[in-house]
Every structure is written in structure tokens, then in C-alpha cells.
Amino acid sequence: MVIRMKKLLVILLAAASIVSCAKPEVRLNAEESMQKGLALFQKKNYDEAIPLFENSIMEAQTPDIASKAQLFLADSYFLSKKYPEAIPAYQQYLDIYGSSEDANLAMLRMGLSHYALMDKVDRDMGAAEGALRSFTTLREKDPAFAKEHDLTKKIVELRNMLAKRELMVAEFYIRIKEPQAGLKRLDFIIERYKDTESYEDALYDYGKYYADIEGKENDALRYFNQLMKENPETKYAKDVAKQLVALLDRVQKRLDKKGAK
């Protein structure tokens, strides 16, 4: 027992000696972290640079260092294709330093991060909505910057994608006999997405829906006429012409029947 105790004591003393000889962890200040982070960033070692920029933000004593560290942190996530992490990092920068000269670039890259996360049109559209919000805000804020980066093209693409998604959902609801939910979606497209490819689809679907309901001929005529008036070359032109003839014939027959009574 005594021998075991002596052995245990030796082990504890040795461990204490190792601990006492170990160098205490040295915490880098903001400037040191920034310099080391930038060196790694320039070598494209973004993953290694990230904790250094985070430390620089925590240790920063001035807004100048904090803002630079925040932007380089976001850029490190962006350039390493860690887009889910890049988005809140850029948002944090914009929330605090939104009037800085680098704010446009931060918003652009935040939008591009959303854009890179977009999935197919039949999936969640959160990323597309985020990208559209960033690009639209940036175009309104600085049209020249938006033109330089060809954001209008992306905005058109995103609006068409979101409108198509709404149309798919609307048609699904109408198909499963939940028309009110479907018509609400069509209304949203007609109101918000007049500049998209799905706008004329929404007008046509609305007219077709009412055309199949006895007594709703006037509503169907209104949507079909609006479609033909706004886009005479629509892909639905031939079908709408047939629908209009049939609807007018139904209305006339009903009036004749009513007059005969």
C-alpha cells in the first residue's frame, strides 16, 4: 500500500512539473490577429484565417480594425464556398458598417451567396428570395454598380423563377380542388410579377378556371380579354379565341333562354 502511494505521488509530482513547465497560452491582440489572418488569407488558406479574424473582432479596440476583420471574415467564408456562414457574416457587416465604402461589395457577395445556394424551382425558394432582395436593394441604391455587375439579368432570372414557383403551387391547389388557395396565388402573380413569363400563364389559368364554371362566363371573359389585350401574340392566342367564342355562345344562349320566359 505504501509503495503504491509513493508511485502515485511520483506520478502526480511529474504531472505537476509538466504543467508548471508548459507555456501559458498567449492571446493575440486585434492587430496581431489581423496581420496573421491577412497573411493566411492572401495564401488562400481561408479556413485557417477565419479564427484569427474572429479573434481580431473580439479583441478590437477601434471600429476600423473591427470592420476590416468582419469583412475579411465574411470574405473568407465566401471564398471557401461556405455560403451559409458567409450570409450572416455579411449581414452583420452591413448592419454595423452599412455606410462604408465596402458596403456595396458586401451586399453583392451576400446576394451571390444566396444565389449559390439556390435549388430547383420545385424546392424551397428562400435562397432565391434572399438573392433577389440583395440584388434589388443594391440596384436601387447604386444603379451604376449594379450595371457593372450585370445584376438586372440576375433579377429578371430570379423574378421569373419565383413567379414560376407561385404558378406551380397555384395550379397544384386548383388541381386538388382547393381553388381559393390557388386563386390567391394567381392574384399574387398578377399583382407582383407582371414583368415575368408566368404573368400570362396566371391570366390564362384564371380565365380557364372560370370558363369551366356555369354562370362565371363574364369573369372568364374578363381575364381572357385582358390577356389578349396585353399580349396579342401570346402562346395561348388560338385557345383563348376558341374559349371566347364558346363563352359568348353560352352567355347568348342563357340570355335567349331568360328572354323566352
pLDDT tens, residue order, the chain (261 aa):
434 443 443 343 344 444 444 344 457 898 999 999 999 999 999 999 999 999 999 998 898 999 999 999 999 999 999 999 999 999 999 999 999 999 999 999 999 999 999 875 556 789 999 999 999 999 999 999 999 999 999 999 999 999 999 999 999 999 999 999 999 999 999 999 999 999 999 999 999 999 989 889 889 999 999 999 999 999 999 999 998 988 888 878 777 666 555
pLDDT at 259: 59
CB 38 within 8 A of CB 52: no
Query: What residue type is 23 in one-letter code?
Result: K
Domain edges within the chain: 197-261
Rounded Cα–Cα distance for residues 110 and 133 (Å)? 10
CB 173 within 8 A of CB 138: no
The number of angstroms, rounded, from the C-alpha of 102 to the middle of its chain's C-alpha atoms is 21
pLDDT at 258: 65
Query: What residue type is 241 in one-letter code?
Result: A
pTM above 0.75, yes or no: yes
pLDDT at 123: 63
pLDDT at 28: 86
Rounded Cα–Cα distance for residues 74 and 64 (Å)? 16
Plot region of 120 (φ>0 → left; ψ -120 to 50 → alpha; else → beta): beta
Query: What residue type is 161 in one-letter code?
Result: M
In terms of Cα–Cα distance, which of 150, 112, 104, 102 is closest to 132? 112
